[in-house]
Structure 1
């Protein structure tokens, strides 16, 4: 006889485990099915461990430039094995923490690979759980032997939160040796002397920043004219100049047409402006995006609508089949952990009948943790102009901010975009030190429908980098003080 739950979540990543915890808080009997490791890609092989690597690179950078701060530091060095070990340790600690949170909230964890077998109209959804998938990488905390696993389970509601995986281009398939995805780039056995990074989105730029800071020669190839293609063009331009000063070479409007592997590296043919240039490097990192994990679940077999690997949902996580929901990367862009978490909460609260507000994707911030950092929310200048509105745009450079100068980080900028008639904040874009921590101020402002007047009358503490936010707003209305 099948075990029956109110809610079963398929996938224990950020969206899945948060949805499960919120469901338990609301009194639902809840289980999570996980085939590899709790915390998903974000915690184990994405957001968290990359930030640990980038932190090591940041400290190494400051040590190398200690003289800029009046310090005498003998030639610093590093052991890449120790850098990777620290990163993996951070993931392991948080991985175990997710398990404790689920246990604390009385959420069952079912280990194995799920498949939806039946989704009868008005009846419970039936799933089968098979053996655990052999992980592409070993889980940080081994699965206990005495756990729920293979079998048949039923639930009134099933939430699919299976995440995404690296997109693979034909002819440039990762081999774990010379051609890497973020899995291999996260745990190099030795520090490569040279790299080609294919793709300049957040993943590609973060790895380019890490490896260049640690001493590798790095070339980034981007198909589009602009690096960081989803960002405001002006902000992306500032970031590019700073990354080029770090020593990264960019090839935009360029396409990798062929990769040949050899005993000592790769030979990469790159087409740009009608010409082919061949680069040789020890490794190539493929960072051309991700695709949803919608296969193997029998979703289409039970009638769930899927388009290009993405499960189609409304703003509350509901699919076209009653009792089946989808959240996070598998439900489409933006493919970000914080979007998945919030979607999970919205979905569960809608099931409970609490009438949550649908997800507003324009209010989801994006962050890239390179050096300098990049962060944004809302419309870019180009998108705002496409809307046909009259705009007021403010800019403030970090060179006018006392805290930025004291930190030795004067290269940066904040850009704000307002509707000239209503004062509505349409978008905010930032590049510079710690902007990934600052952006939430603008996210809150947009969520509260704050106008330019509210922001201008807000008192920002001094000396802080946040003052650049205030000055950018003032600049949009001709009232900037320190520039």
Structure 2
């Protein structure tokens, strides 16, 4: 039976949910206060990867002489670069709009506020004030950057990731607050585009929470790129000194001033629920700001669903899209639930890093007997031909069952290679399943096969001491 559904938010969770709802025969209204596609398409995943690709191309041009290819000195036209990036964003967001229209989804612009458990008032948009009623309501409002004390992001002197993706010039010296994946992705990108980069990270190392063996490769790369990484460091304040910005930071217990041209704050994101009037719907966020949901993405009010960043960690676009598909199925009467064994994480640093499943530390904490096998890209012919030999593929398996528990990669194009590992874990594959599968040669995925062989000390293209 067709339902009338209101989806609040048109990011990767919301628009995917809306389209699937329409495909399943429901009447769908999408409320969006900003651009279709949400943070990911407009000021996150897509524009950052476009600029990162540009930085990588510039870096390859600088090193092409090794292959016997020479260019003139590469130059960056920032205006054209940002225009190119914006064109990609425009095509994708326009595509989302077209898909919603073609599937019969109505889009209402403005801020949504609950006025009751089944009613939402939309105001402030071009459509004027509109009251919507839904048999079901899906909250997909996403997340926003966190501001730390003393560093409110004005997108002028202090950028958030949003400002960092729309530069008018390449800063001479960029200070990045936060050594997580957003900070390192953008910091390394700006380094390749010509900036001197200093990263301030509160924890003892880069990329806290990630597989340490992989992180060590990234930390070595930071040194090669001459990016200064200050750990156990807390940014305290900033001030203007002529045309420069001076950042005051506590570095390992001692105060230090760092003069730079631009500050980029990337200390994380928080779920966005301000102004939603959740209390009018009988809802409240937990102590971490998330809406708690069950395996079918229902909140404690059964006809209201929450998906994406607002529904909890991990705050990743692909996890939100999956939740959107599940919520749409459940609303449509199908017996579905969010039942996934793993969610891949991809980090577009230099080299790239990707992980899925348990880390070695997590396996140890669970008290599991395990084995590991690694294969270095330095032994990969394909990696050599790309001049990208840093890194490896590491597989962690259950010592008793041979089942794959986790796969962690750092190296060329591993953000693409992780899909095989994700499917393997989701299907309950064993290390032997991967090792016995023929992988095309010469390709980067051969490293996955060889790492599987290495778990049992049988890798062919590296020597393993018996």
Same fold (TM over 0.5): yes
Q: TM-score range by the shorter chain?
A: over 0.9
Of the three residues 401, 423, 430, the one matched with 2:380 is: 401
Distance 1:33 1:170 in 2: 32
Q: Tell whether the 8 Å contact from 1:346 to 1:359 is kept in structure 2 after alignment.
A: no
Using the TM superposition, give the Cα deviation of residue 371 of structure 1 relative to its aligned residue in structure 2, in angstroms.
1.4
Equivalent in the alignment of 1:224: 203
**Equivalent position SS for 2:264:** strand
Using the TM superposition, give the Cα deviation of residue 270 of structure 1 relative to its aligned residue in structure 2, in angstroms.
2.2
Q: Tell whether the 8 Å contact from 2:353 to 2:411 is kept in structure 1 after alignment.
A: yes
Equivalent in the alignment of 1:49: 47
Distance 1:67 1:298 in 2: 60
Q: Tell whether the 8 Å contact from 2:222 to 2:229 is kept in structure 1 after alignment.
A: no
Equivalent in the alignment of 2:324: 344
Equivalent in the alignment of 1:209: 188
Following superposition of structure 1 onto structure 2, how do residues 343-362 of structure 1 map, counting pairs within 5 Å? 343-360=323-340
**Deviation above 3 Å: which 4+ runs of structure 1?**
none
Following superposition of structure 1 onto structure 2, how do residues 109-188 of structure 1 map, counting pairs within 5 Å? 109-119=107-117, 125-132=118-125, 150-188=129-167
**Equivalent position SS for 1:306:** coil
Distance 1:446 1:371 in 2: 26
Please say which of residues 268-277 and 459-468 is displaced more in the overlay. 268-277
Q: Deviations over 1:391-410 (max 9, x none)?
A: 10111110111100111111
Equivalent in the alignment of 1:415: 394
**Equivalent position SS for 2:224:** helix
Distance 2:433 2:91 in 1: 41
1:263–1:318 CA distance, 2 compared to 1 (3 A)? farther
Distance 1:67 1:230 in 2: 38
Equivalent in the alignment of 2:452: 473
Q: Tell whether the 8 Å contact from 1:413 to 1:431 is kept in structure 2 after alignment.
A: yes
Of the three residues 328, 341, 345, the one matched with 2:308 is: 328
Residue 250 (structure 2) pairs with residue 235 (structure 1) = no
Residue 241 (structure 2) pairs with residue 248 (structure 1) = no
Distance 2:12 2:357 in 1: 23
Using the TM superposition, give the Cα deviation of residue 261 of structure 1 relative to its aligned residue in structure 2, in angstroms.
3.1
- The TM-score with structure 2 as length reference comes to 0.96
Using the TM superposition, give the Cα deviation of residue 149 of structure 1 relative to its aligned residue in structure 2, in angstroms.
5.2
Residue 297 (structure 2) pairs with residue 317 (structure 1) = yes
Q: What do you get for the CA RMSD once the two structures are aligned?
A: 1.4
Equivalent in the alignment of 1:32: 30
**Equivalent position SS for 2:13:** helix
Q: Tell whether the 8 Å contact from 1:343 to 1:359 is kept in structure 2 after alignment.
A: no
Using the TM superposition, give the Cα deviation of residue 359 of structure 1 relative to its aligned residue in structure 2, in angstroms.
4.0
In the alignment of these two chains, the number of paired residues is: 460
Using the TM superposition, give the Cα deviation of residue 304 of structure 1 relative to its aligned residue in structure 2, in angstroms.
1.1
Distance 2:249 2:453 in 1: 45
**Equivalent position SS for 2:353:** strand
Q: Tell whether the 8 Å contact from 2:12 to 2:321 is kept in structure 1 after alignment.
A: yes
**Equivalent position SS for 2:80:** helix
Q: Tell whether the 8 Å contact from 1:81 to 1:189 is kept in structure 2 after alignment.
A: yes
Distance 2:334 2:429 in 1: 26
Note the residue ranges of structure 2 that are not aligned, 5 or more in a row.
none
Equivalent in the alignment of 1:384: 363
Of the three residues 431, 435, 438, the one matched with 1:452 is: 431
Q: Tell whether the 8 Å contact from 2:176 to 2:198 is kept in structure 1 after alignment.
A: yes
Using the TM superposition, give the Cα deviation of residue 74 of structure 1 relative to its aligned residue in structure 2, in angstroms.
1.4
Using the TM superposition, give the Cα deviation of residue 263 of structure 1 relative to its aligned residue in structure 2, in angstroms.
3.4
**Equivalent position SS for 1:256:** strand
Residue 287 (structure 2) pairs with residue 294 (structure 1) = no
Of the three residues 71, 91, 99, the one matched with 1:93 is: 91
Equivalent in the alignment of 2:101: 103
Q: Tell whether the 8 Å contact from 1:402 to 1:463 is kept in structure 2 after alignment.
A: yes
**Equivalent position SS for 1:310:** coil
Using the TM superposition, give the Cα deviation of residue 444 of structure 1 relative to its aligned residue in structure 2, in angstroms.
0.4
